[in-house]
Amino acid sequence: MKHRIINQQRKILPILVMILLCMKAFSQETLQVVTKSIDKTFDRSQNLKIDAEKADIELMVWDSDKIKVNIELVAKHPDRKVALRDLEMLKYVADKFGNDIVLRNYLQTQHENNKVESNLKAKYVIKIPESMTVSIHNSFGKINVSGKYKQLQVKTDFCNAELKNIIGNLKLETHYGDVLCQNISGKINIKTDRTNLTINDISEECIILSQYGKLKIQRITNLQKLTIDAQKSEITLIGIPLKNYAFHLVNDYGKLKIPSGFSSSTQNNHQVAMLNENLASKIYISNSFGITSIEN
Amino acid sequence: MYKLPEYEPSDEIWNNIEAKLNENGLQKGIQNLPQYEPSAKVWEQIEAKLNPKPIRLFTWKWAAVAAVFVLTIGLNWLYQSKNQSVTYSEEVASKQLFLQESDNSDADYEMIMAYCKQQTYVCENPEFTTLKSELTNLQQASLDLKTAIGKYNTEPALIAQLAEIEQQKSEILRKMTAKI
């Protein structure tokens, strides 16, 4: 009896393996990838302007006076001919106009009927000298930025962005997506809409305007002033040394989750909580129809 | 005049002409003819009419411009092709990253909009209006994202974002239907 069962199992096992392999094969598709790669080098310039779509952008500062740019334009489709045809519609600009280095990718169809069938993507790897003024606009892609800037301006739509180890003033505008700001030395100005925003290790001054966002702020040891003006947002401050800051928290039609020690009052769905009013370093948070939490 | 055909007379005709010109009566008559010298202006006008300036379609100036243009295009092409390369490869993509039928929640959105065309009382409620406005924003975001994702997506991050937006849409739709 036992032998019969083992024999049956031996017969069934290869069939199961075959079925699994078939299932895996059906759940995958081989895409033909056509990549156009462009390398350019410029002399130092005052400004760098990047206007990208569906792009992965990596920007860093290096010890050189040159600006080095590598752009990859990629088309993916099961048919290589279609990928190649669609890649021709993905155009780029990498030129110097006066004091500006302009990098851009865009779609240009020759006829209205020409529809792009491939998955198109652009990739930028940019190395620049420090202390330049940089502006980046990207949609449906990724942004990784690090280094020292005179001014850094980043605007994202549906992007995942990581701004790490930045020295210089930062102006950030986000629409959807996930954004991480980590170790920023400089004034920060953020306008965020429906974005999951995480901020770690910031100093100086930070102003945030948020709508429908999820804000998580932690480790702000040298911060002088934090102002958050939010609507319908979920705001969480984690591990903030309470004794170092004057807190003023306001919430309308929402929830305030605060540790003990705060003086608080509630009137007609209007909540106010305060702590250490006389300290110089201040945290002011206003929110409505959302949750504001201060966690240890 | 320049287009007229040319004919060369025979030697005999030339000899006859010469003989007639050398006849005494004719020579005397010629010598007695009054002589007039036309002014320089008249000569200039005659010369201008006899040798009209051909219309120049191609001057050295234009040739230089064309040469510079061709050279610029050529150098640009050469420079671009030097800094540019095209490579081919293959990628096995998971179909889970492609748009699925279930990602299409447009019907729910259309249903709410159609309902509001008929039942204006509920839809004019301020709370309902706010939800409707949020839903419209999310619907637009969902459409934009789907356009960017396309047919052969390979980016998990875009599908994750779409999932989040669709969840938010569902939450709002739940709240709206509760008020209907």
Which of the pair, B1 or A146, is modelled with greater confidence?
A: A146
- Polymer length in residues for chain B: 180
Q: What is the pLDDT of residue A275?
A: 96
Q: Give the side-chain half-sphere CA count within 13 A for A251.
A: 22
d(CA B160, CA B153): 12
- Provide the sign of the torsion angle of the four alpha carbons A242, A244, A248, A251, taken in this order: negative
Query: pTM score, two decimals?
Result: 0.76
Beta pairing partners, A274: A248, A263
Contact B148 A116 (CB under 8 A): no
- Provide the sign of the torsion angle of the four alpha carbons B66, B70, B75, B80, taken in this order: positive
Q: Is the Cβ–Cβ distance between B163 and B155 less than 8 Å?
A: no
- Token readout for B51 is 């040798």
A-B C-beta contacts closer than 8 Å: 88
- The residue in chain A having the minimum alpha-carbon distance to the alpha carbon of residue B160 is A177
As a whole number, mean pLDDT of residues B37-55 equals 79
Closest CB to A158: pick one of B93, B94, B145.
B145
Contact B93 A31 (CB under 8 A): yes
Instruction: Please name the residues in contact with B142: beta carbons below 8 A apart, sequence gap of 6 or more.
Output: B105, B162, B165, B166, B169
Strand duo A234-238 + A291-295: pairing: parallel
Beta pairing partners, B27: none
d(CA A199, CA A184): 9
Which of the pair, A165 or B14, is modelled with greater confidence?
A: A165
Average pLDDT score over chain B: 82
In this predicted structure, the answer to whether residue B159 has a pLDDT above a threshold of 80 is yes
Q: What is the pLDDT of residue A30?
A: 94
Average pLDDT score over chain A: 92
A13-22, A167-176, B3-12, B146-155: range with highest mean pLDDT: A167-176
Q: What is the pLDDT of residue B33?
A: 79
Q: What is the pLDDT of residue A26?
A: 62
Contact B90 A76 (CB under 8 A): no
In this predicted structure, the answer to whether residue A105 has a pLDDT above a threshold of 90 is yes
Q: Is the Cβ–Cβ distance between A75 and A34 less than 8 Å?
A: yes
Q: What is the distance of C-alpha B120 from the center of its chain?
A: 50
Tell me the H-state helices in chain B: 11-21, 24-32, 40-50, 60-82, 106-118, 120-123, 126-149, 156-179
Contact A35 B148 (CB under 8 A): no
Contact B93 A80 (CB under 8 A): no
Picking from A73, A119, A162 by the largest number of B CB atoms within 10 A of its own CB, the best residue to mutate is A119
In this predicted structure, the answer to whether residue A257 has a pLDDT above a threshold of 80 is yes
Percent of chain B with pLDDT over 70: 91
Instruction: Please name the residues in contact with B116: beta carbons below 8 A apart, sequence gap of 6 or more.
Output: B122, B123, B132
Q: Is the Cβ–Cβ distance between A99 and A46 less than 8 Å?
A: yes
Beta pairing partners, A106: A91
In this predicted structure, the answer to whether residue A221 has a pLDDT above a threshold of 80 is no
Tally Cβ neighbours within 10 Å of residue A268.
7
Residue-wise pLDDT tens digits, A11-60: 777 777 666 666 665 678 999 999 999 999 999 999 999 999 999 999 99
- End-to-end CA gap in chain B: 97
As a whole number, mean pLDDT of residues A267-271 equals 91
Q: What is the pLDDT of residue A25?
A: 58
Q: CB contact, 8 Å: A164 with chain B?
A: no
Residue-wise pLDDT tens digits, B56-113: 666 788 888 888 888 888 887 777 667 889 999 999 988 888 887 776 767 777 888 8
- The residue in chain A having the minimum alpha-carbon distance to the alpha carbon of residue B146 is A140
Exposure b/e, B55-92, CB count within 10 A at least 16 = b: eeeeeeeeeeeeeeeeeeeeeeeeeeeebeeeeeeeee
Local confidence band at A210 (pLDDT 50, 70, 90 cut-offs): very high
Percent of chain A with pLDDT over 90: 84
Exposure b/e, A178-200, CB count within 10 A at least 16 = b: bbbbbebbbbbebbbbbbbbbbb
- Token readout for B44 is 């200039």
Residues of B in Cβ contact (< 8 Å) with A158: 141, 144-145, 148, 158, 161
- Angle at A63 (CA atoms; ends A60, A66), nearest 5 degrees: 80
Picking from A158, A179, A289 by the largest number of B CB atoms within 10 A of its own CB, the best residue to mutate is A158
- Angle at A154 (CA atoms; ends A251, A66), nearest 5 degrees: 155
d(CA A103, CA B23): 94
d(CA A174, CA A190): 8
Q: What is the DSSP letter of B97?
A: G
- The residue in chain B having the minimum alpha-carbon distance to the alpha carbon of residue A24 is B94
Q: Is the Cβ–Cβ distance between A233 and A287 less than 8 Å?
A: yes
Q: From the CA of A8, how many Å to the nearest CA of chain B?
A: 34
Q: CB contact, 8 Å: A63 with chain B?
A: no
Largest CA distance in chain B: 133
Percent of chain A with pLDDT over 70: 94
Q: What is the distance of C-alpha B23 from the center of its chain?
A: 78
d(CA A154, CA A166): 12
Q: What is the distance of C-alpha A26 from the center of its chain?
A: 33
Would you state the torsion angle of the CA atoms of residues A198, A200, A206, A209, taken in this order, to the nearest 10 degrees?
10
d(CA B71, CA B65): 10
Residue A75 φ then ψ, to 5°: -125, 135
Q: Any idea which of A2-11, A131-140, B5-14 has the lowest mean pLDDT?
A: A2-11
Amino acid (one-letter) located at A147: G
Which of the pair, B82 or A245, is modelled with greater confidence?
A: A245
Contact B158 A158 (CB under 8 A): yes
Q: CB contact, 8 Å: A70 with chain B?
A: no
Alpha-carbon Rg of chain A, whole angstroms? 26
